[in-house]
Amino acid sequence: MNTPMFLLRTFKRSHVRRLDQLRHLITGKPHPRPRTYPECRQPWLLRRGYAVAPADNPHFQSLIDGPPQLVNSGRRHGPGLLVLWLIPAIAFSLGTWQVFRLRRKTDLIAKFEDRILRTPLPLPLRVDPSAIEDFDYRRVYTTGMFRHDQEMLVGPRIRDGKDGYLVITPLEREGNSSKILVNRGWISKHLKKQVDRMHALPGGLVSVEGLLREPWKRNIFTPENKPELGEFYFPDVSQMARYTQSDPVWVEETMRKLLVSQLDGLQK
């Protein structure tokens, strides 16, 4: 501190104190004492010009010097702890589900590849619909005549960015009056009418070789079929079999040229 300033402040304090004493002698009033606190017996700390720090109080105790306290002692845990517990649990369950899903798909692919590579079986005259699941993707063959008058178009179906339909034709089998449903392939939308594709409608006795498939499963977003109007949005095997008086047997023709390939050749 600068020495002249310190002397000036000391002279000012002593001068003010003497003036206060002289004023009290003239007026007869007692000289007031500086106010003190029971916790702090140092009156000079309350004078103007001095800063009061907590450490100057002899009864002051900091948080570091005091005993430790548990903040959440006796309180219930909120929903945040439950969320923190659910995050790893959900992540573990999703990972486990993905592993089992991958294993299931791998087993299905191996099973279907084994069935496709096997020698095709002759389709029995009478097929039990409940046994088709055990022969799903099994190659079969049969003979009969296509009933083009009962043809059904399922769609729309997109192929290579073009709109079209799946052609489903009942096959009246040779030797009995039973019929099955054959998926002959995909056609473009502008070939919807049979008169525009007469050369792709085989007549007489034909041999069909393909994959035996179990009935399709419909999702909640697919609209209902309207057989009376000839509109089929989903290949409902049971419904289509009742509509054409056929057996609920679905065969996807694979071992001959697809209908779309025949029609592509006609357009060239």
Cis peptide preceding 170, ω within 30 of 0: no
Confidence of residue 28 (pLDDT cuts 50, 70, 90): low
Which tokens hold the place of 148? Answer: 């083009």
Confirm if 176 and 199 have CB atoms less than 8 A apart.
no
Look up residue 129 and give its DSSP letter: G
Look up residue 43 and give its DSSP letter: G
Confirm if 183 and 237 have CB atoms less than 8 A apart.
no
Confidence of residue 117 (pLDDT cuts 50, 70, 90): confident
Confirm if 141 and 208 have CB atoms less than 8 A apart.
yes
Confirm if 121 and 139 have CB atoms less than 8 A apart.
yes
Between these two residues, 95 and 254, which has the higher pLDDT value?
95
- Predicted confidence at residue 13, as pLDDT, reads 57
Q: Residues of the chain with pLDDT > 70: what percent?
A: 68
Q: Is pTM, for the whole model, over 0.85?
A: no
Kindly state the average pLDDT of the residues 186-199. 90
Which pairing describes strands 138-146 and 206-213: parallel, antiparallel, or unpaired?
Answer: antiparallel
Q: If you average pLDDT over each of 55-59, 110-114, 128-132, which comes out highest? A: 128-132
Q: Does residue 1 carry a pLDDT above 50?
A: no
Confirm if 223 and 245 have CB atoms less than 8 A apart.
no
**Alpha carbon 193 to chain centroid, angstroms:** 41
